[in-house]
Amino acid sequence: TSTMYVKLSLSQYADIVVAYYLLAAVVCVVLAKLENNPGYAVAAGSALGFLSFSKGEGLMAAGIIGVLAAGYFFYKNKPDKRVLINLYTAAMAAGIVTVVFTLFVAPKSTTFINGLVSDTNPVSWFRLRAIFSFILVELVSPTWNGLWILLVLGILLGASRCFRRHLIIIPVFLLGYILVISAYYFVNTYFDNTRIFWWLQVSLHRLMYATLPSVMFWVFVGLWMRHKPVETSPPTNS
């Protein structure tokens, strides 16, 4: 058992909620694609809506998956139209609370400075190097007991399986999520270059924790599913 994982699971943050709604959304989206099943699409949309309410990172993740899902369902196989309708209808229904809370209840953020236009705290290449260097350091950090190293090795050794079309939404989502999070760290210079390492130290591991169950699902399914699954085609009207 990872000490870091247990510690973060018991912390005061909502990261465990993000982690498991994200996992639920990923699993149900993949199953909805494989089986062309509107029921799984409802479950996926509901998970995305609840994920968006968990915290800011959850809203960001739900938005990325929601955008990717349209292309994913049409990739190589035309879906039953009810799948997409159910997915987005359920997501909007479950996300109503998020919209209301964001527009009328949530206080305005006081910890954001746009470094692209700020004269006092501008962005810098040092900041960008610091962000990506810290991500690499965190991946090999002993606090994770080598878990991320094993997952990366699994992806590299089983790339042909992990990047099959029915799983492709997961690595594309992870890439998009990393880029968006990195862009936020880069642009938000409220924590200037003298404090960027402290900010990364207290927050990056929580973001990685939230994606960990989904990454494990991706790697294990990719490596252990020996045969390519056959996607179900939508029924045709005779």
SS3 17: helix
Residues in the chain: 238
Residue environment code for 111-142, b if the CB has 16+ CB neighbours within 10 A, otherwise e: eebebeeeeeeebeeebeebbeebbeebeebe
Report phi then psi at 114, rounded to 5: -75, 100
Average pLDDT over the chain, rounded to whole?
90
Question: How does residue 184 score in pLDDT terms, banded at 50, 70 and 90?
Answer: very high
pLDDT > 70? residue 143? yes
Report phi then psi at 67, rounded to 5: -70, -45
- Per-residue pLDDT of 38-89, as tens digits, reads 999 999 999 999 999 998 999 999 999 999 999 999 887 787 889 999 999 9
Q: Which residues contact 187 (CB under 8 A, 6 or more apart)?
A: 114, 115, 116, 123
CA distance 60 to 96: 16
- Per-residue pLDDT of 207-222, as tens digits, reads 999 999 999 999 999 9
pLDDT > 60? residue 124? yes
Report phi then psi at 89, rounded to 5: -65, -45
Q: How far is CA 197 from CA 33, 41, 124, 127, 203, in A?
A: 40, 40, 14, 9, 10
pLDDT value at position 238? 41
